[in-house]
Structure 1
Amino acid sequence: MPIPEQRDLGATRGVLADWLASRLGASDVSVSEITGPSFTGFSNETLLFDATWTEDGVPRTQGLVVRVEPTRHHLFLDPDFEFQYRVIKALGEGTDVPMPPMRWYEPDASALGAAFFVMEKVEGRVPADNPPYTQSGWLLDEAHPEERRRLVESGVDALCRIHAVDWRALDLGFLDKSQYGPTGIEQQLNYYERYLEWTARGRALPVAEAALEWLRANVPEQREIGLCWGDARINNQMFDDDYRCVAVLDWEMVTLADPMLDLGWWLFLDRHFHEGIPAPRMEGFPTRDDMVARYQANTGREPHDLFFYEVFAGLRFAVIMARLSALLAEFEILPVDN
C-alpha cells in the first residue's frame, strides 16, 4: 500500500530525459508518460516509461524501469539498495537466471532525490498481491488449469536456477551480514530478532516472539550456504503469454543462507495466498509435494527441515507485516492502535 507522497511525474519526465541524454550521449532524448505507481511505495518506488532518441542517425526506443531508493521510510532493517543493483547486474550478465537487463546505477541524489538504478523493461505479467491473484485477475479469470500449472512449475524452475548460482564466483560475498553473526541460519535468526525489536519498539508481539523462541530451540544442522533470493514467490516473477517465467523481480531480501530459506518461503507464501486469504486452491496449481519434488529433481538437492523453514517464513512474514502496519499508522492510513 502506498504512502500519501506523490512525485511530480511531469517534472520527472524532464529530469529523466536530461539524465539519460548524458548517459546515452544523445541530445534528443524524450521520455513518454510515466506509468506504474505514482506514489512512493513502502519499498522501492518504481517508474516505467519509454525513452526515444537518435543513435547513429537511427531512431531508437527502449522501455525502461527506474527503481528509486526510499528515503523517508524503510520497510527493512538494512535496505542495502545498491546491493540490489549489484546482484541483478551480476545474475543478468553471468547466469541463466531470467533477469531484466541492468543499465545504470546513479548514486547521486540530485536528480530524483535519492539513488536509483535503471533496467530495461521486460514484457510480461505478474500475479498480483492486491487484490490477491487467488481472488481476482488474469491468473484466476483467464488461465486454464494446465497454464496455471505451467506457470508455477516455471517459477520453481527459475528458483532452482538461482540456487545453482556460484555466488563466490560472482563476488557476491558482500551480501554476508557478518554483524549479525556467522553466515547461515544463526545470522538469519539474529537479523530477524533485531528486525523484530526494531519493528516492535516496545510493543508486545507474542506470536512472533513465541515463533522466535521455538526457532531458537529447534535450529537444524547447517548444511550449505547459497544465494537466496529472499522473497521467493510467483508474485515476484514475470511471465510471458506462454505462462513461462521471463524475469525474477524484487531483490530487496536477497541474502546468503541455506537454500531451504527460499523453498520454505515459497511454500509458506503459496499457502498464504490460498489458505491465509482465504481462497480455494486454484485449479491446476501443483500441490506442495509436487513443488518440492520438482525442486529436488531440478537441483539434485534433497529438501530438508522444511517445517523449520516454513515456521521461519511465518516469523519473517509477521515481522515484515508488523513493520508495514507501523508505517501505515505513521502515515495515518491505519489507526495507531491497529
Structure 2
Amino acid sequence: MPRRIFRRRLCAGWTPPTIERAITWLRDHCYDPDHVTLCWGDSRLSNVLYGPDYSVLGALDWEIGYLGDHEADLAWLLLTDWVSSEYLSIPRLPGTPSREETIARYEAATGWPVRRLRFNEILGAVLMALALLRIQVVLGIGDLSAVAVARLDPLLSEGP
C-alpha cells in the first residue's frame, strides 16, 4: 500500500485513541536528556549473543542505532520483556531478573540514575504501535496495535 495512504490514515485520526493520547503526552513531557549516548535501538534479550558461561559475546541488530537518551534502550528492553511474558501471561524463566532488579542493575552498571523511564517506556510503546499499524495497513489485517495499547493504558494512567 502506498505510503501516502498510511500517512493519510494516521493523520486522519485513524490511530487508536490511546496512541493519540500517548503522542500528545510525549509532546507535553519532552525533555533534554542528561546524557546523550549511542543507543542500540533494539535492546532485547534475543539480540544478545551469549557464551557457554552466559557471558555476553555480542549485541546484534544495530540498524536503528541513534544518539539519544540511554534510558530509551532500558525502556525498550523492559517493553519487549513485558510483551514476551506478562502480556502473554507466560511466567518468566527461572533466573530472569524482575523489572525492579533490571532497573537497579542498570543503574549500578552505568552509574547513572534512571529518571525518565516512564517517558521512554511511553515512547517505546508508541514506536512499537506505529510499526504494528504500518504492518496492519500494508497487509490489510486486523488490529495489531493492541499490545502497545495494553502497555500504554497503565503508563498513561499514572500520575504526572
Length-normalised TM-score, structure 2? 0.75
Contact 1:220–1:305 (CA<8 Å) still a contact in 2? no
Contact 1:215–1:312 (CA<8 Å) still a contact in 2? yes
Q: Unmatched 5+ residue regions in structure 1?
A: 1-72, 78-195, 330-335
Q: Which residue does the alignment assign to 2:42?
A: 231
For 1:305, which of 116, 120, 131 is the aligned residue? 116
Higher percent of residues as helix? 2
Tell which has more relative contact order, 1 or 2 (C-alpha 8 A, sep 6+): 2
d(CA) in 1 for partners of 2:62, 2:101: 26
**Matches of residues 163-312 of structure 1 in structure 2 within 5 Å?**
197=7, 200=10, 202=12, 204-206=14-16, 207-312=18-123
Query: What is the aligned-residue identity percentage?
Result: 31
Could you say what the CA RMSD is over the residues aligned between the two structures, in angstroms?
A: 2.4
Cα drift, residue 203 of structure 1: 6.3
Contact 2:9–2:15 (CA<8 Å) still a contact in 1? no
Cα drift, residue 283 of structure 1: 2.1
Alignment-mate amino acid for residue 235 of structure 1: S
Cα drift, residue 198 of structure 1: 7.5
Aligned length: 138
d(CA) in 1 for partners of 2:7, 2:21: 14
The superposition leaves residues 195-242 of structure 1 with CA deviations (integer Å, 9 ceiling, x where unpaired) of x84883756112322210111112234312110000111111122222
Q: Which residue does the alignment assign to 1:314?
A: 125
Q: Based on CA coordinates, which of the two structures has the bigger radius of gyration?
A: 1
Q: Unmatched 5+ residue regions in structure 2?
A: 143-160
Alignment-mate amino acid for residue 200 of structure 1: L
Contact 2:19–2:129 (CA<8 Å) still a contact in 1? yes
Higher percent of residues as strand? 1
Alignment-mate amino acid for residue 223 of structure 1: D
Cα drift, residue 284 of structure 1: 1.5
d(CA) in 2 for partners of 1:229, 1:248: 9
Alignment-mate amino acid for residue 300 of structure 1: G
Distance 1:238 1:260, change over 3 A: same
Q: Could you say what secondary structure the match of 1:204 adopts?
A: coil
Length-normalised TM-score, structure 1? 0.38
For 2:136, which of 325, 329, 338 is the aligned residue? 325
d(CA) in 2 for partners of 1:261, 1:337: 29
d(CA) in 2 for partners of 1:222, 1:311: 16
